[in-house]
């Protein structure tokens, strides 16, 4: 009964997005139970076993970052989880990780160290050396377990499986505490997995499972390092990466309204090297043309995320990085460039009648007339565009600062408009794009969409000049 009450008490005061939510508890002697939120995504152990974890390195690091964020909150409330393992990490409907099962959790009571008075607590394969040796312990025991989880998530394997054969805790304790046995990095010789070639990741894992608790990082440090690593992985553009880290340092997604407000702002911030950085693109939201550029970006991000423009609400770090791969650089300092930034390049391409962004079943939209028609859309791979006709498909790779190069061709074009005029003269452009509708450049039934969205954006935008803001 005491342990049940302790678990309920702990869960009731650590409400957080990356911690399983307590809904209630029943104390009837015949029906002891804890009611928690339903998490249909399953646990990471099952997903790993079925090969259903994210296939990308940065996707897996995002999962690890969410675990670290949850543990950072748990530790800040004076609680040690004590049973951190893949089985106790569950996913919700949005793929967010929730730390679960606080049956073995401890309250530190403000003490720097605690002791296991009734024997070791936790799952043996994830126990830190000081737990196995029944020594004084602190929150670094969870950090040790996290190091093993990070290795498992990255490798797609379970740690220490060979020790399950003998099932002897004394032998395992000797291997971990005396022989300093840890999972191999990389798990297989010659592994080309991106993570094992990333010295920041491998060093972080080694620091987490250090035999000395004082040498292990805390979860604030772990979370910060993973956040920078993920941002650098998703956003290859230098300006874009700095923009995200400065404006949204602890977030992998932000509301669209917040994102576009900062993107358009004129504020600057000082950097550690003594220079300053423009937080945004310094573009007035009162300019109708700029509002249309913003609407193009929102439609583009909605399509990339697989959502309807009307319901799209959040910008992810990953999708922002994809946009920059297609339309970067974020800021173009080349005096010969006709576009000052990526948003201008988005609008320049989007206003072309043949551009359809990222769409499903493009073949259904192509209808030949007197001449065959074509459209240009985003390929599944960031940085690639697909030229799509009723007869064929081919790709063009875009390299920021260089230009557009058709696959199998040596010629590089300065922009897609030049390419279309040069190579697609035998075709007519397929019309009906929602992007062109935003600019009101085609007489289609859906052109009202662009006018309505532009008007709505202007009505809701607040000017950067506070002297012109309305008083309520």
**Which one is catalytic: 43, 83, 106, 434?**
83
Q: Quick one: tokens of 331? A: 């800021």
Q: How far is CA 162 from CA 52, 120, 125, in A?
A: 23, 21, 11
Q: Quick one: tokens of 223? A: 């979370």
End-to-end alpha carbon distance in the chain: 55
- Name residues whose C-beta falls within 8 Å of residue 43's C-beta, 6 or more positions apart in sequence: 86, 87, 88, 89, 90, 91
Q: Write out the DSSP string of 130-160.
A: HHHTT--B-THHHHHHHHHHHHHHHHTS-TT
Residue 430 has φ and ψ, to the nearest 5°, of: -70, 130
Q: Quick one: tokens of 175? A: 């291997």
Alpha carbon distance 142, 119 (integer Å): 17
Residue listed under structure tokens 């201008």: 344
Q: Are 415 and 327 in contact (CB under 8 A)?
A: no
- Name residues whose C-beta falls within 8 Å of residue 258's C-beta, 6 or more positions apart in sequence: none
Q: Quick one: tokens of 240? A: 């874009």
Alpha carbon distance 371, 63 (integer Å): 50
Tell me the pairing of strands 373-378 and 355-357: parallel
Is 83 designated active site?
Answer: yes
Question: How many other C-beta atoms are found inside a 10 Å radius of the C-beta of residue 240?
Answer: 23
Alpha carbon distance 458, 463 (integer Å): 10
- Name residues whose C-beta falls within 8 Å of residue 184's C-beta, 6 or more positions apart in sequence: none
Q: Are 154 and 57 in contact (CB under 8 A)?
A: yes
The H or E element that residue 91 is part of is: strand 89-91
Q: Quick one: tokens of 293? A: 């550029």
Alpha carbon distance 85, 454 (integer Å): 49
Nearest C-alpha neighbor of 153 from the set 18, 81, 39, 57: 57
Annotated catalytic residues are: 83
């Amino acid at each position: 009964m005491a342990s049940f009450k302790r678990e309920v008490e702990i869960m009731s005061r650590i409400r957080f997005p990356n911690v399983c939510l307590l809904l209630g508890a029943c104390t009837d002697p015949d029906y002891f139970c804890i009611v928690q939120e339903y998490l249909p995504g399953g646990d990471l152990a099952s997903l790993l076993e079925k090969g259903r974890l994210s296939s990308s390195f940065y996707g897996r690091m995002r999962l690890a970052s969410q675990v670290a964020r949850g543990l950072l909150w748990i530790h800040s409330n004076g609680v040690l989880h004590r049973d951190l393992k893949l089985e106790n990490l569950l996913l919700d409907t949005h793929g967010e990780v929730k730390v679960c099962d606080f049956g073995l959790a401890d309250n530190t009571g403000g003490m720097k160290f605690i002791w296991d008075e009734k024997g070791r607590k936790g799952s043996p394969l994830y126990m830190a050396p000081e737990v196995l040796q029944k020594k004084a312990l602190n929150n670094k025991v969870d950090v040790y377990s996290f190091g093993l989880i990070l290795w498992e998530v990255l490798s797609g394997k379970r740690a220490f499986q060979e020790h399950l054969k003998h099932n002897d805790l004394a032998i395992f304790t000797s291997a971990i505490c005396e022989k300093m046995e840890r999972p191999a990095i990389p798990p297989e010789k010659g592994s080309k997995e991106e993570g094992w070639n990333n010295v920041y990741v491998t060093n972080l894992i080694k620091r987490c499972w250090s035999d000395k608790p004082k040498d292990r990082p805390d979860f604030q440090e772990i979370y910060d390092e993973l956040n920078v690593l993920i941002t650098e992985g998703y956003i290859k553009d230098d300006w874009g990466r700095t923009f995200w880290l400065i404006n949204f340092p602890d977030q992998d997604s932000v509301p669209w309204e917040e994102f576009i407000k900062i993107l358009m702002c004129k504020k600057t911030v000082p950097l550690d090297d003594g220079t300053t950085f423009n937080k945004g693109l310094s573009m007035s939201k009162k300019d109708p043309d700029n509002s249309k550029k913003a609407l193009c970006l929102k439609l583009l991000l909605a399509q990339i995320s697989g959502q309807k423009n009307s319901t799209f609400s959040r910008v992810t770090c990953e999708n922002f990085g994809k946009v920059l791969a297609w339309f970067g650089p974020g800021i173009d300092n080349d005096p010969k460039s006709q576009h000052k930034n990526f948003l201008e390049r988005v609008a320049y391409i989007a206003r072309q009648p043949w551009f359809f962004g990222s769409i499903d079943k493009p073949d259904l939209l192509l209808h030949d007339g007197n001449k065959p028609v074509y459209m240009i859309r985003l390929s599944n791979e960031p940085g690639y565009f697909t030229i799509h006709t009723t007869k064929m498909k081919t790709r063009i790779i875009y390299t920021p600062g260089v230009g557009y190069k058709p696959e199998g061709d040596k010629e590089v074009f300065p922009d897609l408009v030049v390419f279309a005029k040069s190579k697609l003269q035998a075709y007519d452009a397929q019309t009906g794009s929602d992007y062109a509708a935003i600019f009101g450049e085609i007489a289609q039934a859906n052109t009202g969409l662009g006018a309505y969205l532009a008007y709505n954006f202007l009505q809701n935008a607040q000017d950067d000049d506070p002297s012109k803001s309305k008083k309520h």
